[in-house]
A and B are shown apart, each in its own frame.
Chain A
């Protein structure tokens, strides 16, 4: 089943002004239900513009956005309903916290769609648990929490709306390594338990390849690469050329290959590099 289909999407900012600029240009892509997709690209590559089309925050200059088999800008589709199906979490989502308590903040969305108090409470607790928001925090002010904790409260607020597609714009930006791993692993866990479709935007190639099944690399408003994670770094040279980083461990494998030792182009985790190197050494010993 297709969750997202984008056909010939183009978007221009400032049409008719001297500042007219094409941010997304003729993008085509399809995402299947339940996939975990990573999106990477440097600033200005069009990734934020692209994701704002997924729940209709931006209306395409040209082309179509089809969510759950509905063309979201056709007359018989209510765009408000699309926004319930697609949850969009912005960068520094903790800036959106505003309520007196964590519970009230997470409850804000569900309450506004007219759910009963009981249903709201169930949803809040379920979302809080999914994001590792401790029960004892629920009655505290969200502003007393650490940066990483606040971030997870904001995410819980979106999850409480039970979207079928979750789009996250740099959920780990600015966090320390512990906070980053905690947020991302909770998102991954939620993906596995709920089976929803997730799109994760990040500047960190290391994070993207650690969590996503497939990777979209954006460049100059277009899709530069859309590939399964294992195959991404067979394009390492091209990725470096457009100014993106590849993980240090991948650079190490490439360097090794230059010296005539091939441990594969799918090296991006320490675990896999370790296995391949141990194999290599074993083979060397048995020869």
Chain B
């Protein structure tokens, strides 16, 4: 079952002069066709300016297509009257945790959207407790968010989205501003959500994170240039490097060894796989 489908999606950013007239436009998306299945864990890679964030912003109607269509559960996001329904199906988490937190107490922040939806107070209590427990911030529920670490704040933001009980969560570089410990916490949370059957779209610069997804899509100049399982994508070292992306270190090492005439398999993504393959050669 599909949850998100884009059809020939085009998006242009308009450039304005001082008086507000459109003087130019720049194309961020040039005909993207992508289908995301229910329960899928999809990572989107691409350098800055490749269009990946613009694409993600179409998944819950923050942006609407200049041309083409986006459907969430078959509902057209371009139609304004569908927008609230769609935003309850697809939640977003952004890069900077500080920009997403609105309340002075963690649990109030997590409850913010539910209060706005008019959910009964008892149900709010139940839903935010469940959400806070699932991302392991329940013990901080009475704390002020600004005293939490980056990873904790980002999990507060995720809890706020989970409390909405969306079917799909789109995370736009959620770990970019975090330290390694915070990154691990957030990745653990994402994997937990995947296990619970929530569809995850993860936009990231970290190849080791993308390697954990079930499917990887690579964007370049507003188009999808690669789409497949991590093993299919990361083995194309030269192609990824040509669009300004990295591959996991051991994958690159395997690639280098192959170039030196060694019969080393290309599809190793982590150190365990690498060592296993190397031992076979010795």
Contact = CB atoms under 8 A, between A and B. Distances in A.
A277 B205 CA distance: 29
B211 to A, nearest CB: 10
A252 B275 contact: yes
A247 B150 contact: no
A163 interface: no
A278 B260 contact: yes
B179 A43 contact: yes
Contacts of A203: 179-180
Contacts of A206: 249
Contacts of A270: 249, 252-253, 256
A56 to B, nearest CB: 26
A100 to B, nearest CB: 13
Nearest to A144: B15
B244 interface: yes
A251 B179 CA distance: 19
A245 interface: yes
Nearest to B270: A248
A167 to B, nearest CB: 19
A255 interface: yes
B104 interface: no
A177 interface: yes
Among B180, B246, B252, the one with the most A-chain Cβ atoms within 10 Å of its Cβ is B180
Interface string A137-173: 0000000001110000000000000000000000001
Given A256-B278, A273-B253, A274-B260, A177 B47 contact: yes
A176 B282 contact: no
B180 A177 contact: no
Q: Report which residue of B149, B179, B180, B282 has the largest number of chain A beta carbons within 10 angstroms of its beta carbon.
A: B179
B262 interface: yes
B276 to A, nearest CB: 9
A248 B271 contact: yes
Given A146-B48, A255-B271, A248 B249 contact: yes
Contacts of A148: 48
B176 interface: yes
Number of contact residues on A: which range applies? 35 or more
A259 interface: yes
Contact of A179 (B48, B150, B270, B279): B48
B89 interface: no
A195 interface: no
A35 B271 CA distance: 32
Interface in A269-287: 270, 273-274, 277-278, 280-281, 284
Contacts of A248: 208, 248-250, 270-271
Nearest to B149: A43
A148 B49 CA distance: 11
A177 B248 contact: no
Given A43-B150, A248-B250, A252-B250, A174 B282 contact: no
B245 A177 contact: yes
Contacts of B282: 261, 280-281, 284
A274 B270 contact: no
B98 to A, nearest CB: 12
7 contacts: A43-B181, A174-B176, A178-B48, A206-B249, A243-B180, A252-B275, A255-B275
Instruction: Please give me the 4 A-B residue pairs with the lowest Cβ-Cβ distance, nearest first.
Output: A178-B244, A252-B271, A248-B249, A249-B249
Given A176-B244, A203-B179, A248-B271, 20 more contacts: A42-B179, A43-B150, A177-B245, A177-B246, A178-B47, A178-B244, A243-B180, A243-B181, A248-B208, A249-B249, A252-B250, A252-B253, A270-B252, A277-B257, A277-B278, A278-B262, A280-B282, A281-B281, A281-B282, A284-B282
